[in-house]
Structure 1
Amino acid sequence: MTAPLRIAVVAALPQTAPPLVEALRSLGHEVPVVIGHRRPADWPGHVLGEQDLPRGVDLVVPARTDSLPALLRAYAPDVAVSYGYPRKLPAEAVTAPRLGTVNCHPSDLPAYRGPNPVGWAVRNGEHRIGVTWHRMDAELDTGNILARTTIPLDDTLWSFTGVNTKVLDTATALLPGVLQRLVDGEPGEPQPERAGTWAGFFDQGYATVDWSADAHHIHTQVRAWNIAGHHPRVQGPVALIDGARWRLRRTTLHQPPAGTGRRVPCGSGHLWVLAADPVDVPAGHA
């Protein structure tokens, strides 16, 4: 078993940082600080706050990423563990901890590097996704591999939170081995030489639902957008129904119970809309 380490957590969401802190502390390690991220002006949900963390764990929200190296050095961690942080860490921050920084990425690297790996996996019809712990370096999702596995991406998963729970459970089970390799000074394995793929945010071209398309294509589009979660600039998938625009939240290819959902004809087949939010809210109803 790895001797107790002083570990800084780099994570910005309440769905990720608290369980990661809990997992590290349950392994006997000290977590003095979580490095969070400032709430974007258009962010629709809750972001990590000090009330989400156990007593004795500081929450630091840097004004700029270039202040991260000094902040990490101030806490003198042995290791930094990054999970789902929305900004690229400066090279000086990555090397600030004594044993370096590791990151968990939900793909089988080098496939689906970038901020939206699971959304693209759904879009491309994948039935499994990777869970990869890698050393962080000066680039994005390119460092040596310390542990990897795969998990099912079944069609019952419809939200970022649902996927994140499965990824995080798998990732924390791999953590003891990852930390031991750092302590032993192992560099890890270089990523496979096959060409990497980039999983950026979906663009405007994928944000609008075209009812003339195949029903399965639209169903996948809805699921991919909802698993991808919040987009900083583009919101989707938006569909026109009875002259009004709706952001689709849940659909099914199979007829639901009577009185449930809205049946919409598509280019081939039918789709039932089970949940949607209005995009155009009348004045005075916001």
Structure 2
Amino acid sequence: MADAPSLRVAVVAALPQTAPPLVDALRARGHRVPVVIGFRRPADWPGHVLGEHDLPPGVDLAVPSRPESVAALLRAYAPDAAVSYGYPRKLPADAVSAPRLGTVNCHPSDLPSYRGPNPVGWAVRNGERTIGVTWHRMDAELDTGSVLARTTIPLDDAVWSFTGVNSRVLEAASAMLPQVLRRLVRGDAGEPQSQREGSWAGFFGKDYATVDWSAPAAQVHTQVRAWNIAGHHPRVEGPVAVIDGTRWRLRRTALTQPPPGTGRRIACGDGDLWVLAADALD
């Protein structure tokens, strides 16, 4: 099936791992990307947010001081459509409706399951072996708009970081973009989200931040993986464990013994766990 005609598409994304691949995917299909709407770095953000050096020539970077400024920026660039991915703030209704054909968002879950800012972290916490990737129209609420395309990808134990999950999600999302844009051009409203009860995937709280070594080893292992895939938390640090009287943030663990000289063996409630990487907090 033919791609949509060449469109002016704004990208709304905050990270260097997300915006450039979306720009590349759109341009490879013959669309023009005049601007990426980025995000001002919070004072407590541990990494760097998207910078102008991350984007190819000819693509502007606009960094609004507040979400209420996004609508005016989009109107100034007059895009036919906007594509959002992983933006850390809810877009106001006037921003969502500013592009001529509307705004679409990619969410890494099978909506309406795992709406919110931490869908993959909760999927790992709940023992899911796959995750959904859903393109939906944006509306005034969060992750509730009608669906334009969806698929499912594996969530296997080899994935341990936001970056690792993000690369898989973006690959699947980019493959669906032509279908999504065709539906926008046709004025297709999309399918309302399933009537099954949705679930909310908020940031992990303090109740999940501390490691209890008396718990089963697999449970602790899952907790470590879930926190590391979830990435930066604006208020709570985890998973934190005490080893020999020192507090550590655990980065990587293993349920099977690693090569000699690698990792630290810890006795858990039903067996051993090996700590492979951690950062001292004290």
> TM-score higher than 0.5 here?
yes
Give the Å deviation of 1:67: 1.0
Give the Å deviation of 1:78: 0.3
Give the Å deviation of 1:2: 1.2
Q: Secondary structure of 2:10's match?
A: strand
Q: Secondary structure of 2:33's match?
A: strand
Question: Alpha-carbon deviations, 1:172-194, whole Å to 9, x = none?
Answer: 00000000000011000000000
Q: Identify the residue that residue 179 of structure 1 maps to in structure 2.
A: 181
Give the Å deviation of 1:171: 0.2
Q: Which amino acid aligns with 1:81?
A: V
Runs of 4+ in 1 over 6 A off after TM superposition: none
Q: Identify the residue that residue 27 of structure 2 maps to in structure 1.
A: 25
Q: Distance in 2 between matches of 1:166 and 1:67?
A: 31
Identify which of 105, 108, 112 aligns with 1:110: 112
Q: Which amino acid aligns with 1:16?
A: T
Q: Which amino acid aligns with 2:176?
A: L
* 2:151 is aligned with 1:146: no
Q: Identify the residue that residue 127 of structure 1 maps to in structure 2.
A: 129
Q: Secondary structure of 1:31's match?
A: coil
Q: Identify the residue that residue 215 of structure 1 maps to in structure 2.
A: 217
Give the Å deviation of 1:90: 0.1
Give the Å deviation of 1:278: 0.7
Q: Which moved more, 1:110-119 or 1:205-214?
A: 205-214
Q: Distance in 2 between matches of 1:224 and 1:83?
A: 20
Q: How does 1:30-179 map to 2 (within 5 A)?
A: 30-179=32-181
Q: Which amino acid aligns with 2:242?
A: L
Q: Which amino acid aligns with 2:32?
A: E
Q: Identify the residue that residue 264 of structure 1 maps to in structure 2.
A: 266
* 2:16 is aligned with 1:14: yes
Q: Which amino acid aligns with 2:59?
A: V
Give the Å deviation of 1:170: 0.4
Q: Which amino acid aligns with 1:225?
A: W
Q: Distance in 1 between matches of 2:105 and 2:4?
A: 19
Q: Secondary structure of 2:279's match?
A: strand
Question: Alpha-carbon deviations, 1:43-66, whole Å to 9, x = none?
Answer: 111210000001111100100111
Q: Secondary structure of 1:172's match?
A: helix
Q: Secondary structure of 1:87's match?
A: coil
Unaligned runs of 5+ in 2: none
Q: Secondary structure of 2:144's match?
A: coil
Q: Secondary structure of 2:132's match?
A: strand
Give the Å deviation of 1:204: 0.7
Alignment root-mean-square deviation, CA: 0.5
Give the Å deviation of 1:271: 0.4
Q: Which amino acid aligns with 2:91?
A: L
Q: % of aligned pairs identical?
A: 78
Q: Distance in 2 between matches of 1:239 and 1:140?
A: 34
Q: Which amino acid aligns with 2:274?
A: W
Q: Which amino acid aligns with 1:55?
A: P
Q: Distance in 2 between matches of 1:68 and 1:174?
A: 25
Give the Å deviation of 1:268: 1.1
Q: Distance in 2 between matches of 1:76 and 1:46?
A: 28
Q: Secondary structure of 1:30's match?
A: coil
Normalised by the length of structure 1, the TM-score is 0.97
Q: Distance in 2 between matches of 1:110 and 1:60?
A: 31
